[in-house]
Amino acid sequence: MRKFLIFAAAWLAMAPRALAITPLDLVDAVQQHQGTVSFEGHRIQLLTRQNLDFKAVLQIDYKNERNYRVDILQPAKLADVNLWLRHDRVNIYFPDENLYFHNDNQSGSTEFAATILGQITADPDLLFANYDLDVYNDDQIKSMGLDPVVAGRDCYILNVARKGQVFYSTPAHRFWIDKQTFQILRETRTWGPQIAPYFDSSFDEFELTNQLHLKARVPRDVNAIRLKTGSRNNSFVTYKSLAEAQTAIGQAIEIPSFVPAGFSLYSIEVPIFYGSRTILLSYTDGANWMFVQYRPKPTLWVTLLAGAYAVKLVEKFQELSFQAPYNYYGADKGNDVVFTYGDLYPDVLKRIGDSLQLQPAGSGSQATPGTLAPGAAPATHSAAAGR
């Protein structure tokens, strides 16, 4: 009996360590459980840019990563704008403009998930190659003064930070992951271990349910723009490789000659609006994203076609840009406009944009670091500006 008691005591002493979940197991569990539960929730996003604070409030109905709806409740400028995915096809409705975009093509984009719902990774191999991952134990959670409960649910807390860096070249992420469903209930981002988060996105209400509202009501007299496969006027197609995209559009796609260490090309999106083609290159290092977009400068014909909606839509997209947790840089290059944005400092984004060789410059104006989409004001994260 004595030997049994000694053995039992030793086993119990080792049990917490043996039962502790590892970062690899936790990331795998999150990946495996996406789409296994349906839920609705109320999510609040807080973002700081220099001395400006932004707040967005979202109602989310989620079936899986290919079928969900986001209804924007705040800010007022975006109230009731709806975005929903149905079988991975994007729909966006702007009620003030009575304008509805429907994409006939599967989007394949992870940008929505990464900025709205929280996403640990789209490439686990890159994630573990570039980042240190740590699942906090109870003592760490207590010593750091963290609350492991989100929307009434107990969570694991996972920290993801660049390997070997004190001041990060890309943001560190902290995720609160529901212990029961392995859904991400909260995410914060920071530029350093002693720097306050500039982004905090969290559910304050979260309920498992199959009673979902996955589609917004669109008026019958809505101005609908359907993005059709093969259309020369309006389409939106995502490709997984450069060769595939170039074959499909029948021309070369330029890529930047400078890409920060650890980043790899993830996808190529080719939207066409009113016959004007845009190229959007998405790169990831496993935890963070960078995007390179270039398109022709608007022609008078495109401006006339879009004129009925242009002013209000510019304001809408400007506000959407402010709410996304990215830095931005823009420049004119010959007959094209180039935007680089993502989880990087503005000076790095400038270097990426400058390395993209398009038509010779000369007809375009000089770039201004931190420029947002057309009509928007410069905006950078406070940590980036103070570096």
The CATH number given to whatever domain includes residue 150 is: 2.50.20.10
Candidate from 48-52, 262-266, 319-323 with smallest mean pLDDT? 319-323
Assess whether 260 and 342 both reside in one domain: yes
> Which of 171, 153, 158 is closest to 47 using CA atoms?
171
Assess whether 234 and 170 both reside in one domain: no
Instruction: Give pLDDT, residue 308.
Output: 53
Residue 146 CB neighbours (<10 A): 15
pTM for the full predicted model? 0.84
Q: How far is CA 87 from CA 165, 215, 359, in A?
A: 40, 12, 38
DSSP-derived letter for residue 306 is H
Assess whether 198 and 228 both reside in one domain: no
CA distance 194 to 183: 27
In this model, does residue 305 exceed pLDDT 70?
A: no
Mean pLDDT value across residues 23-39: 93
Assess whether 48 and 111 both reside in one domain: yes
Assess whether 192 and 151 both reside in one domain: yes
Assess whether 187 and 316 both reside in one domain: no
Mean pLDDT value across residues 30-53: 92
Higher pLDDT, 179 or 12: 179
Mean pLDDT value across residues 166-190: 94
- Maximum CA extent, the chain: 91
> Which of 179, 139, 177, 142 is closest to 157 using CA atoms?
177
Instruction: Give pLDDT, residue 358.
Output: 84
176 assigned to some structural domain: yes
Higher pLDDT, 156 or 117: 156
Evaluate whether 92 touches 331 at the Cβ level (below 8 Å).
Answer: no
The range of the structural domain enclosing residue 348 comes to: 223-385
> Which of 71, 119, 117, 116 is closest to 92 using CA atoms?
71
Q: 């959670």: which residue's tokens?
A: 141
Instruction: Give pLDDT, residue 31.
Output: 92
Give, rounded to a whole angstrom, the gap between the first and last alpha carbons of the chain. Answer: 64
Mean pLDDT value across residues 53-79: 91
Instruction: Give pLDDT, residue 262.
Output: 96
Instruction: Give pLDDT, residue 298.
Output: 67
| DSSP-derived 3-state class of residue 122 | coil
Instruction: Report which residue type is found at 183.
Output: Q
Instruction: Give pLDDT, residue 224.
Output: 85
Instruction: Give pLDDT, residue 260.
Output: 96
8 assigned to some structural domain: no
Decide which of 166, 185, 208 is a domain's last residue. 208
What residue spans of the chain are helical by DSSP H? 2-19, 23-33, 111-112, 124-130, 138-143, 242-249, 300-323, 346-354, 382-385
Q: 């109602």: which residue's tokens?
A: 59
CATH code, domain with 347: 3.30.200.100
Assess whether 49 and 176 both reside in one domain: yes
Mean pLDDT value across residues 70-88: 89
| Percentage, residues of the chain above pLDDT 90 | 49
In this model, does residue 257 exceed pLDDT 70?
A: yes
Q: How confident is the model at residue 271 (pLDDT cuts 50, 70, 90)?
A: confident
Residue 280 CB neighbours (<10 A): 19
Instruction: Report which residue type is found at 79.
Output: A
167 assigned to some structural domain: yes
Q: How far is CA 37 from CA 24, 47, 65, 119, 250, in A?
A: 21, 28, 11, 16, 41
> Which of 288, 324, 291, 314 is closest to 49 using CA atoms?
324
Evaluate whether 310 touches 299 at the Cβ level (below 8 Å).
Answer: no
Cis peptide before 219 (omega within 30 of 0): no
Q: What is the pLDDT of residues 321-379, one digit of tens each?
A: 778 899 999 988 888 889 999 999 999 999 999 999 985 543 333 333 333 332 233 33
Residue 44 tokens, joined: 């609040």
Candidate from 200-214, 254-268, 293-307 with smallest mean pLDDT? 293-307
Assess whether 35 and 80 both reside in one domain: yes
Q: Report the relative pairing of strands 368-369 and 336-342 from DSSP bridges.
A: unpaired
Q: How many domains does the chain have?
A: 2
Looking at the DSSP bridge assignments, the partners of residue 57 are 44, 74
Instruction: Give pLDDT, residue 5.
Output: 40
Mean pLDDT value across residues 155-178: 93
Assess whether 238 and 353 both reside in one domain: yes
Assess whether 178 and 116 both reside in one domain: yes
> How many degrees, rounded to 5, is the angle at CA 381 between CA 288 and CA 121?
15
Q: What is the pLDDT of residues 126-164, one digit of tens each?
A: 999 999 999 999 999 999 999 999 999 999 999 999 998
Q: What is the pLDDT of residues 81-116, one digit of tens each?
A: 898 888 888 888 988 888 888 888 776 556 677 778
Instruction: Give pLDDT, residue 370.
Output: 38
